[in-house]
A = this chain, B = another copy of it.
Amino acid sequence: MSDLLERLQRLGEVGRTGEGIERPLFSEAEHQARTLLAGWARASGFDVQQDAIGNLFIRRPGAWASPPLQTGSHLDTVKGGGRYDGAYGVVGGLCALEALARRGVEMRHPIERVAWAGEEGSRFPKGCLGSSVYAGLTTRQQALALRGDDGMSFADALRGPSGLLAEVPVRETPRMPCGYVELHIEQGPILERNGLRLGVVTAIAGQRRLRISIGGEAGHAGTVPMAYRRDAFNAAAEIAVELERAARRIGECVATIGMVRVEPNQTNVIPGRAEIRLDVRSVDDERVRRMIDELEQLARAVRERRNVSIELEPLEERAATPLDPALRGAVRTVVEALGHPVFEIPSGAGHDAMCIAKVAPAAMIFVPSIGGASHVGHERTAPEDLQLGVTALAETLVEADRLL
């Protein structure tokens, strides 16, 4: 199983820029990552295929000619991302299949390990792109028409030298899996803070993103009395402070203002305009709705009190994705059998499992992130935890094979 660490190490060099990694979809680096994975899988005797959108499959046949049981994750990264987000589930899936093969475990269902194309929205303006097309939530035409941040269309990038792998056969129609289990790093601090090594994911959080645009009046920082001011940044600051309080009061949800823009952004000028972006998430859609209600009330109050304009523009909205009770049960059984406490944890981040859960029972297994760090170059998970996760994945696939 030390192949796991060596391969992750190797993959961590592909697209490395300083401490972080940059592997946008259909970049040279991302193409090289897929090539490496295909080579490792072939060397281990697995059949390698891709579909017309760039998802990469390796397959271990089962006793039945049934729909496959799938596991997977992604190989693309955010700018300056880490070596485990996505790559761990892909490499871990391969290692789990190898372990099952080595042990000669006979399974009823074919098992497929998928590397989904473009989970991070790392080049084209849509996250979970490959899994979304696979599950029929996005049409192939919609995907092909997307334009990347470099101006190139998805269709052109797919046909280009860093698109589909040259020597890998292309599957025709996708066959929906009978079940899906995704192994992933937590990307948050909860497992570590609770001294746990495995997490059984309950659901993937729903999310709302909004742009909050505030229009006040610019003015000289020295000459306009406080009582006459319509300071757009102070209005934004008040909204930020109140939204943070609301999120704590409502509970089991998170609210983040990660992006802030102020105009003209000069020390000696009262801000005339401010834009902040709000990201709200919870596995309970009702709590997200309550946060948006709070925001709307707050916007009305601040607008009135400060004589500023406030516009709320929805940017993204997705409902929470509960994971499959039976498959979650299979993960719980395995975690207990491995001698670990069963700990149920929500996923605040989105994953390909969100899309596949729309067409098949899906579950997720988390391993801890050291310091909760993710999407950064110093994203780390202890080697023992990485290996424990792969063991849990292999056992869960066996358990699911019996169950489904």
Contacts and interface: CB of A to CB of B under 8 A. Distances in A.
Contacts of A209: 267
Interface stretch (A102-110, A169-177, A185-193): A185-193
A241 B306 CA distance: 13
A223 B281 CA distance: 9
B221 A258 contact: yes
Contacts of A256: 221, 231, 267-270
Interface in A226-265: 226-228, 231, 233-234, 236-238, 240-241, 244, 247-248, 254-260, 262, 264-265
Contact of A223 (B193, B259, B374): B374
A44 to B, nearest CB: 32
A225 interface: yes
Given A258-B265, A258-B267, A220 B374 contact: yes
Contacts of A258: 221, 233, 262, 264-271
Interface stretch (A1-9, A23-31, A322-330, A346-354): A346-354
A244 B231 contact: yes
A279 interface: yes
Q: Is chain A's interface secondary structure helix, strand, loop, or mixed overall?
A: mixed
Interface of A: 186-190, 193, 205, 207, 209, 218-228, 231, 233-234, 236-238, 240-241, 244, 247-248, 254-260, 262, 264-271, 277, 279, 281, 315, 347-350, 372-376
14 contacts: A186-B223, A189-B225, A193-B228, A205-B222, A221-B279, A222-B347, A231-B244, A234-B240, A237-B238, A237-B257, A256-B268, A256-B269, A260-B262, A260-B271
